Structure 1
């Protein structure tokens, strides 16, 4: 299961370092327009070590590079073939969302439904510089819930819900599909991962230290303020952010909350920790961030000032929201919106929960049109 904290964006797996790498793609399709800016009916993107390397959406209908080294190293026919592949997958998703809506008796639904596909691989670096397969995933989710996954070790599909049993039985009976899926995860995906790591090695080695911002604003509770520590602009993604009250580190028991790891639009990350405290509290509050990759540690104390901002995120996060919508990693937010819409509908139960698939890894493989849900 994948928890939307945006990660959640980054699916559970290896921590990116000089010795580990991952290749990811995300496919997300809605049954109809959702009416939110920057959110398309179909989106696909590639991620190398959590950095976007290519992108496709149903509006622009073209697979395009998102890194200059991808543009320089891969020929035009790679992008042409990739575009045709994405268009094929877009049709596959459209057909199979219809199948699932019928299976779950949602044909009369006025709300959009969402189908996601995740598949890929993670690897460690051998002493000779080659990559060694560690794990692979091939998973589907529907309306935010896990729907079907491939067990790479046993070579069978796993259905966590009764609605997925029919698909499991159908796909388990296609031996060539199981063999190809396992072979792709353990071999072909690693080959593409190795190639991309070689192409982008200079950028992948780059590290960015964090900036730390400490600010506060009035809470909705008149006697309280919300104190926020925002670490941003760092890469790789492993970072520790803490808030201290008189040198004591605050925890969830003190009401500490976190945004989780979030992406910026420049391939770096940010993380926000915040806590609600009494205005009358005479204690000293401070924030600290430690970025393991660069060894940078920054500490700042709150200067007791309040920012006149309309929301908790502040201006530093405004750009992030737009980026999240563009890359569609904020699907968890969308699902929350959809759930609220469903709650306002007639006799419709909210099927969207807080779990979504948010990471995939894929290079050329069996066309989805060759298998239906």
Structure 2
């Protein structure tokens, strides 16, 4: 998002605050698999401004939400159709990579990359989105290959090898009309919808409560230092344990940090705890940093150095056993009560999918019954 102050001369100066927003989909396909971890033969992702909202790759084989509000606002049918659409696109890219390699007399000795980016940008002025430009462009091996001129409604070859594709696609009038319509209307509709979804989540956002404390360790000579963030919504959060001993270090898993992962509370909020075992005699300073973007929280809370009482540890296993027994008893009682209540309760009573390539394109790539990609 980029904010602009536009000033127009209408008899007097009139200034309007404008925010630039975008919805973009990026597809990347490799001509063959590579061994580098985290690099997939095919990936596809959706971006709202600069934030990823959905994702698919050739290993995952499923279109998944990357924002909580995407998961909450869009039903399973949306994700099922999106998965099928991206699977078909994966095959489309594979076919077209073969076409381009043959056209350019290339082999598979090197890895070749075909990318496609499409979407729209719009200004938010006085609460309304105003279309700025559409984006539909292809690149091959990092160089611009072909793009759609939304203003003039025509395809432009950015490389000599793209000329045959440009001539073929320009002959398909319905394709140009559809592409222009998607960029200027349908994409804008989805951009507006996703922005509304995101804002709705922020309305209900709740900041975290942060606690730093020590509990008994595995040995009498150690304690477990805990950083707990709880009561926050949405669940997207960053939590770091920091150690300062001459130099500052953000502690990670390799340092012995363990995490509960983000867990739900009973009131539709979430909690996250990270811990590390340290010696009682450790003289370093420890703090907990928590960042919750939805509520603008970015705080750092230092551990006060207080250690748990030795007596808790001296009692050892019998205390744990008694506590465990009590918990088991309570669980059993709860199960019996729930069973009785449940028994009483029972007693009372569901396009466009044609073949096309960079040599012959008869159908828009971004329509497969999902409305957008």
CA distance in structure 2 between the aligned counterparts of 1:179 and 1:171, rounded to whole angstroms: 11
C-alpha displacement of 1:164: 0.5
Alignment match, 1:112: 111
Identify the structure with bigger relative contact order (alpha carbons < 8 Å, sequence gap 6+): 1
CA distance in structure 2 between the aligned counterparts of 1:121 and 1:371, rounded to whole angstroms: 23
CA distance in structure 2 between the aligned counterparts of 1:47 and 1:204, rounded to whole angstroms: 18
C-alpha displacement of 1:19: 2.5
Is 2:197 aligned against 1:199?
Answer: yes
> Structure 1 residues 192, 267: closer, same or farther in 2, change over 3 A?
farther
Alignment match, 2:305: none
Calculate the aligned-residue CA RMSD, in Å. Answer: 3.2
CA distance in structure 1 between the aligned counterparts of 2:157 and 2:77, rounded to whole angstroms: 37
> Structure 1 residues 72, 173: closer, same or farther in 2, change over 3 A?
same
Instruction: Please tell me whether the aligned partners of residues 30 and 41 of structure 1 are also in contact (alpha carbons under 8 angstroms).
Output: yes
Cα distance per residue 1:35-93 (max 9 Å; x no partner): 21100000000111110100000001000001111000001000000000000100000
Instruction: Please tell me whether the aligned partners of residues 55 and 64 of structure 1 are also in contact (alpha carbons under 8 angstroms).
Output: yes
C-alpha displacement of 1:126: 3.4
Cα distance per residue 1:88-127 (max 9 Å; x no partner): 10000000000000000013x3111100001100111232
> Structure 1 residues 187, 126: closer, same or farther in 2, change over 3 A?
same
- SS in structure 1 at match of 2:2: coil
Runs of 4+ in 1 over 3 A off after TM superposition: 202-206, 365-373
Instruction: Please tell me whether the aligned partners of residues 89 and 368 of structure 1 are also in contact (alpha carbons under 8 angstroms).
Output: no
Alignment match, 2:2: 15
Alignment match, 2:120: 121
CA distance in structure 2 between the aligned counterparts of 1:196 and 1:368, rounded to whole angstroms: 28
- SS in structure 2 at match of 1:200: helix
CA distance in structure 2 between the aligned counterparts of 1:367 and 1:142, rounded to whole angstroms: 24
> Structure 1 residues 27, 16: closer, same or farther in 2, change over 3 A?
farther
CA distance in structure 1 between the aligned counterparts of 2:41 and 2:74, rounded to whole angstroms: 27
CA distance in structure 2 between the aligned counterparts of 1:366 and 1:28, rounded to whole angstroms: 22
Instruction: Please tell me whether the aligned partners of residues 123 and 134 of structure 1 are also in contact (alpha carbons under 8 angstroms).
Output: yes
- Choose the corresponding residue for 2:180, options 179, 182, 190: 182
* Structure 1 unmatched runs, 5+: 1-13, 207-265, 269-305, 308-313, 317-364
* Structure 2 unmatched runs, 5+: 5-17, 206-235, 239-245, 252-350, 360-373
Cα distance per residue 1:300-339 (max 9 Å; x no partner): xxxxxx99xxxxxx989xxxxxxxxxxxxxxxxxxxxxxx
CA distance in structure 1 between the aligned counterparts of 2:22 and 2:54, rounded to whole angstroms: 15
Q: How does 1:36-115 map to 2 (within 5 A)?
A: 36-107=36-107, 109-115=108-114
Q: How does 1:1-373 map to 2 (within 5 A)?
A: 15=2, 19-107=19-107, 109-127=108-126, 129-202=127-200, 369-373=355-359
CA distance in structure 2 between the aligned counterparts of 1:135 and 1:267, rounded to whole angstroms: 33
CA distance in structure 1 between the aligned counterparts of 2:188 and 2:38, rounded to whole angstroms: 32
Give the TM-score normalised by structure 1.
0.52
Instruction: Please tell me whether the aligned partners of residues 28 and 42 of structure 2 are also in contact (alpha carbons under 8 angstroms).
Output: yes
Higher strand fraction (1 or 2)? 2
> Structure 1 residues 25, 267: closer, same or farther in 2, change over 3 A?
farther
CA distance in structure 2 between the aligned counterparts of 1:369 and 1:92, rounded to whole angstroms: 8
Instruction: Please tell me whether the aligned partners of residues 45 and 52 of structure 1 are also in contact (alpha carbons under 8 angstroms).
Output: yes
- SS in structure 1 at match of 2:60: coil
Aligned length: 214
- SS in structure 2 at match of 1:372: coil
Cα distance per residue 1:170-206 (max 9 Å; x no partner): 1011111101001100000000101101111156799
Alignment match, 2:346: none
CA distance in structure 2 between the aligned counterparts of 1:75 and 1:156, rounded to whole angstroms: 36
Structure with higher Rg: it is 2
Instruction: Please tell me whether the aligned partners of residues 2 and 19 of structure 2 are also in contact (alpha carbons under 8 angstroms).
Output: no
CA distance in structure 1 between the aligned counterparts of 2:165 and 2:57, rounded to whole angstroms: 27
